[in-house]
Structure 1
Amino acid sequence: MFRRVLGKTLGFVGYTVQYGCIAHCAFEYIGEFVVCSGPSMEPTIVNHDIVFSERMSRHLCKIEKGDIVIAKSPFDPNMNICKRVIGLEGDKVCTSAPSDVFKSHTYVPKGHVWLEGDNLRNSTDSRSYGPIPYALIRGRVCLKLWPLHSFGTLSESPTRRTVKTQSDSDSD
């Protein structure tokens, strides 16, 4: 009797560990579901929207300008941020304070990206903390799942920000 109970318990534990490893690998290397909070990406993503963030682009270095990404916060590693990629390494980015009073040009250093929220007046982003290391990117948001009436791929930036590459700016 004891041997049978022990065998079933160990079998259950074995299956639990196996499925746990499969789930971990799926969430770490394929993608994850993310509930977004805060106003920084409005109107593209609003509070409590659920999106799917795929992780393959990050591993294959396929993040591009205009992509919306989930990244570790440079201030708090326990918190994730959701922002749009405005500039990649070598790009010249026209930056401004949220008040749009002061404008300057910044080159994105090697191995970094420039992130901004779509709601420029209500977003803490690279304008506050500077370019972030590429390694902090966790995934690229490719699909909005909830609410159902806005299910689908995400639209381009409502601000339609343009970014000059270093070679473009050399001709200025």
Structure 2
Amino acid sequence: MRLLSYMGQWKSAAKEVLDRTAIVAKFLCLLHVTNNYLCSPTLVYGPSMLPTLNLTGDVVLAEHVSHRIGKVGTGDVVLVRSPVDPRRILTKRVVGMEGDTVSFYVDPMYGQTTVVPKGHVWIQGDNTYASSDSRHFGPVPYGLIQGKVFFRVWPPDGFGTLEQ
């Protein structure tokens, strides 16, 4: 009789563990999908996007839908996988889309003009003196865009949408 009682308790405990494990697994799946395919927080730091973003670091929200459906345009701040170092994600502003003519300066005395090729975008940091961008590595394939920044959540005094 006692043995049956213990087996019943073990079955009950095992069912409880499996139920809780399933809940945690579902939550982690939801978190993965949300973070990779919908929206994610990102820490952005460095001088290239001054004065729009702070040198010491901002936490921004980036959505991951617009670039998949072709809704990224000139003036948008985007997260881009670096064409030079694929382990790095850059935060830059889209300055030109495919077919646009872009004029830029590599140094203060030497200007150039180029046409953005099909399937590419031209990206630049807002701080032209301290940004490694398309002026240095050329047009970036559209497929390297990882997300579109739409909201700053930190620091508190900068809370809100990004102004262009």
**TM-score, normalised by the number of residues in structure 1:** 0.85
Secondary structure of 2:47 counterpart: coil
Q: Of 32, 45, 48, which residue of structure 2 is paired with 1:24? A: 32
CA separation of 1:78 and 1:3: change in aligned 2, threshold 3 A: farther
Secondary structure of 1:21 counterpart: helix
Report the CA distance between 1:149 and its aligned residue.
1.1
How many residue pairs are counted as aligned between the two chains? Answer: 155
Match of 1:63 in 2: 72
Report the CA distance between 1:11 and its aligned residue.
2.1
Deviant stretches of 4+, over 6 Å? none
Report the CA distance between 1:117 and its aligned residue.
0.2
RMSD: 1.3
Work out the CA distance in 1 between the residues paired with 2:15 and 2:87.
39
Report the CA distance between 1:123 and its aligned residue.
0.3
Identify unmatched segments of 5+ residues in structure 1.
157-172
The structure with more radius of gyration: 2
Work out the CA distance in 2 between the residues paired with 1:153 and 1:89.
26
Report the CA distance between 1:76 and its aligned residue.
1.9
Work out the CA distance in 1 between the residues paired with 2:27 and 2:85.
30
Work out the CA distance in 2 between the residues paired with 1:6 and 1:101.
74
Secondary structure of 1:19 counterpart: helix
Identify unmatched segments of 5+ residues in structure 2.
1-8
Work out the CA distance in 2 between the residues paired with 1:12 and 1:130.
51
**TM-score, normalised by the number of residues in structure 2:** 0.89
Letter paired with 2:33: C
Match of 2:119 in 1: 111
Match of 1:41 in 2: 49
Deviations 1:66-97 (A, max 9, x none): 00001111122221100000000001111221
Matched, 1:94 2:103: yes
Q: Of 19, 23, 28, which residue of structure 2 is paired with 1:15? A: 23
CA separation of 1:2 and 1:77: change in aligned 2, threshold 3 A: farther
Match of 1:131 in 2: 139
